[in-house]
């Protein structure tokens, strides 16, 4: 019997994991291809849900929004992929070095959105196995809830590089860290053609 798999990706957790390894070339990641590589024999990918938030303009990196826009546009061309958005909240903080006030931004809603989708899909019987790509320990509660309420379902945690959580390992059916080989074999084409008839090119900074 074929086992149905749904994949839930914490976009910024994955990004910062890759960034911590300086694997910039893997930012242009085909998340569907990566998800397929995570499957075991007898499993079939049903859907991939990618959770992120629109980045805000920064004077020190004016191209950040354009790079994200290109990447999300490329992801939107992939079959069975859904992008779900949170947002960034502006707040003031004190610099520990100089004591000056500075504006910082905090991503909001990603963990809540993942929890809502995971629990909703479990209740709708949309998967037999869920794979969560994240190292955010806040997700350990939703994972435990799914396993408690739906003991016939498995929840696997796939940690991004340099991202791990003891609580997630304890709550999940199983866990592992995604290796470099998985990323290197799961890249988008340098130029992605859209249904609207235009091409999206990989940002040159991600070479």
Give the total number of structural domains in the chain.
Answer: 1
**Average pLDDT score over residue span 32-58:** 94
Domain CATH code at residue 8: 3.40.50.1010
- Which contiguous run of DSSP H or E holds residue 63? none
- Strand 199-201 relative to strand 191-193, pairing: antiparallel
**Average pLDDT score over residue span 71-81:** 97
Q: What is the pLDDT of residues 90-138, one digit of tens each?
A: 655 676 677 666 655 567 689 999 999 999 999 999 999 999 999 999 9
For residue 204, tell me if it sits in a domain.
Answer: no
Q: What is the pLDDT of residues 5-33, one digit of tens each?
A: 999 999 999 999 999 999 999 999 999 99
For residue 207, tell me if it sits in a domain.
Answer: no
For residue 18, tell me if it sits in a domain.
Answer: yes
For residue 122, tell me if it sits in a domain.
Answer: yes
For residue 191, tell me if it sits in a domain.
Answer: yes
**Average pLDDT score over residue span 71-76:** 97
Structural domain that includes position 71: 3-196
Task: Specify whether the CB–CB gap between 183 and 29 falls below 8 A.
Answer: yes
CA proximity to 78, closest of 197, 204, 189: 189
The chain-wide mean pLDDT, for the chain, equals 93
Task: Specify whether the CB–CB gap between 35 and 45 falls below 8 A.
Answer: yes
Q: How far is CA 170 from the centre of its chain?
A: 21
Q: Which residues contact 24 (CB under 8 A, 6 or more apart)?
A: 18, 205, 206, 207
Instruction: Give the helix ranges, DSSP H, for 76-165.
Output: 110-123, 140-149
For residue 205, tell me if it sits in a domain.
Answer: no
Full-prediction pTM beyond 0.85?
A: yes
For residue 203, tell me if it sits in a domain.
Answer: no
Percent of the chain with pLDDT over 90: 83
Give the pLDDT score at 207: 86
For residue 206, tell me if it sits in a domain.
Answer: no
Instruction: Give the helix ranges, DSSP H, for the chain.
Output: 11-20, 31-37, 64-75, 110-123, 140-149, 166-171, 180-184
Give the pLDDT score at 162: 97
Give the pLDDT score at 88: 62
Packing angle, helices 11-20 and 110-123, rounded to 10:
120
């Amino acid at each position: 019997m074929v086992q149905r798999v749904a994949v839930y990706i914490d976009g910024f957790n994955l990004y910062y994991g890759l960034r911590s390894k300086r694997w910039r070339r893997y930012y242009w990641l085909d998340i569907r291809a990566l998800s397929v590589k995570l499957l075991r024999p007898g499993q079939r990918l049903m859907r991939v849900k990618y959770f992120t938030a629109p980045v805000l303009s920064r004077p020190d990196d004016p191209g950040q929004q354009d790079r994200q826009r290109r990447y999300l546009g490329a992801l939107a061309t992939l079959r069975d992929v859904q992008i779900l958005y949170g947002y960034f909240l502006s707040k003031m903080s004190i610099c520990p070095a100089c004591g000056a006030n500075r504006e910082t931004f905090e991503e909001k809603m990603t963990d809540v959105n993942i929890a809502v989708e995971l629990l909703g899909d479990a209740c709708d019987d949309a998967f037999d196995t869920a794979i969560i790509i994240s190292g955010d320990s806040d997700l350990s509660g939703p994972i435990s809830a799914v396993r408690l309420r739906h003991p016939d379902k498995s929840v696997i945690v796939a940690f991004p590089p340099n991202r791990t959580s003891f609580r997630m390992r304890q709550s999940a059916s199983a866990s592992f860290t995604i290796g470099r080989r998985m990323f290197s074999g799961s890249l988008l084409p340098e130029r992605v053609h859209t249904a609207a008839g235009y091409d999206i090119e990989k940002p040159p900074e991600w070479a």
